[in-house]
Chain A
Amino acid sequence: MRRNTRGKIPGVQAHTPNALLRFAVGNDLARGVAARALHRLRPMSAEKRSAWTGALIGIGMMAAVDEIVFHQVLGWHHFYDRSTLAVGLLADGLLHAAELIAIVAGFFGLLALRKRGELEGPWAWAGFFLGLGGFQVLDGVVIHKVLRLHQIRYGVPLLPYDLAWNFAGLVLMGVGLVLLVRARKQSGGGHAFAPHPSSL
C-alpha cells in the first residue's frame, strides 16, 4: 500500500479509527478536537472569554472548598464513605483531577487575557460567582440527591443541610447573575448572552 510521508493512507480522512493509534505513537489526538473548540471560542468577545475563565476558576474553587472544608476540616462526609462503591472512589478521583487542573488552567487563562489587555474584570467576577454557585447546586442536586454518591452529613436529619447547601449555591448564583447584569450595563448595553459583533 502506498503511504505518504506522514504515515497516513492517501484519501483516508484524518479522523478515522487510526486516531487511537496516533495517540499511542505520539501524534496529538486531541489536536483536531482542540482546534475545533478553539475555533468556536475565537469569535467569543473578550467579555465572554473573561466570564468563562472566571467560571472555570469558580467551579474548581468550589470543588476544592468542598474537599477542604467538608472532607478535611469538618470531616462531615469523607475522603471516602465506606458505603460507596469502588466506582465512587474513581469518580471522586476524576473530579479531584479536574478541579486541580481547572484552577491552574483558569488562572493561566486570566493571565493570558490580562497580557492581551482583554481581561474584563466585572465579567470575570460574574463568571466566578456563577461557577461557584453552579457547582454547589450541581453537587447538591446531582451528586447528593440523584446519584446519591454521598450525603452532606450522617446521623442527622438531612433536610436542613440539603436546603442550606442548595440555598447557599443559589445565593452565589444570584450574586453572579447580578454581577453579570451590571457588567453588561458597564460594557454599554446589549444583551448579556448576545453574540459579539465580531462573531456575526
Chain B
Amino acid sequence: MPSHHTHLPSSDPLHAHAVGAHVAGMDVLSVLAGIVLALYFVGVVRRLRRGAPWSVFRSTSFAFGMGLVLAALTPPLAMLGHTDLRMHMVQHLLLGMLGPLGIVLGAPVTLALSQLAAPSARRVVRVLHSRPVRLLAHPVTALVLNIGGMAALYTTPLFARMLHDPALHFAVHVHFLVAGCVFSWAIAGTDPGPARPGYTHRIVALFVAIAAHATLAKVMFAYGFPRDTPFDAEATQDAAKLMYYGGDLSELVLAIALFTRVHAKRARAMAKVPAHVARAG
C-alpha cells in the first residue's frame, strides 16, 4: 500500500485481507465489463457488415462509459478507493454516474435486439415488459434506488461496515453501477423502456434527483458523513465536495441528453403540423 495514504493503518492484517478480497471482486467485475464491451463491438461490426447503420455517437459513448467503469475498477483505483475517501468518491462517480450515462447513451439493448435471433429477442422484450422490470425502470423507483442507496450508504453505519466486509463492498459497487444504469435509462435512455413515462414526469424526476444529490452532498460536508471511519474531517469534506461538483457534471450531461430527446420529439411533432397552424397556435 502506498505510504502517503495514512488514513488507514495498513498494518492491520484483517484490513489488508479485506482490501485483497475486495480487489479480487473488482477483477471479476472488470472481466465482465470487458466481455460486454467486446460483445458490443462484435455486434456493431456485424451490423455494419450487413449494411445496417449504427451511429458513431452511440459506439463512442458506450466505449467511453465502459472505459470509465473499467478505470474505476482497476486495481490501483480500487485499492485507493478503500484507503482514501476522495478516491472512493471518484470511483463512485465513475461507477454510478458518468460510466452508466455513457453506457445507456450507447443503446446496448437496441443493438442486442437487432443481433439476436427472433425467439431470443422476443424473450428479451418479454422480460423488459415484465412487471418487476416495469416497476424497476420507472423513474421514481430508479430515483429511490439511486439517491436512496447513496443516502443509506453514507448516513448510516453501512459505510463503516463496508470497509471491513469485502462482500458488502462488492455489493455496494454493483448497486452503484446497476442503479446508475437504471436511472439514466429511465430518464434519458433511447433503449426500449416500457415503463418510461412522459417528458414532464422525467424532468420532474431529474429535478428531484439533482436537488437530493446536492442536498445529500452538503449534509455530508456540513455534518461530517460518513461517520465512524478512519478518515479525517478534511478528507470527508473533500469527498463531499467531489460528490457535489462531480454529481453536477453528470447531471448536466443527463439533462442535456433528456432535453435533446424532448427537442427531437417537439421537432417531429412540429413537422406534422402545417406551418400556418403552428405559427398561429
Contact = CB atoms under 8 A, between A and B. Distances in A.
A108 B262 CA distance: 9
Contacts, number: 94
B204 interface: yes
Given A42-B281, A93-B211, A100-B248, A80 B221 contact: yes
A81 B193 CA distance: 42
A174 interface: no
Contacts of A15: none
A198 B210 CA distance: 38
Contacts of A112: 263, 266-267
Contacts of B266: 112
Contacts of B151: none
A31 B218 contact: no
Count class of interface residues, chain B: 35 or more
Contacts of B260: 108
Nearest to B262: A108
Given A28-B201, A89-B222, A92-B218, A116 B210 contact: no
A26 B195 contact: yes
Contacts of B262: 108
26 contacts: A26-B138, A26-B197, A27-B197, A28-B200, A28-B201, A30-B198, A43-B281, A44-B281, A79-B221, A80-B218, A89-B215, A89-B219, A92-B218, A96-B214, A97-B207, A100-B248, A100-B255, A101-B203, A101-B255, A104-B259, A105-B203, A108-B263, A116-B270, A118-B279, A198-B279, A198-B280
Interface of A: 23-24, 26-31, 33-34, 42-44, 79-80, 82, 86, 89-90, 92-94, 96-98, 100-101, 104-105, 108, 111-112, 115-116, 118, 198-199
Interface of B: 134, 138, 140, 195, 197-198, 200-201, 203-204, 206-215, 218-219, 221-222, 241, 244, 248, 251-252, 255-256, 259-260, 262-263, 266-267, 270, 278-281
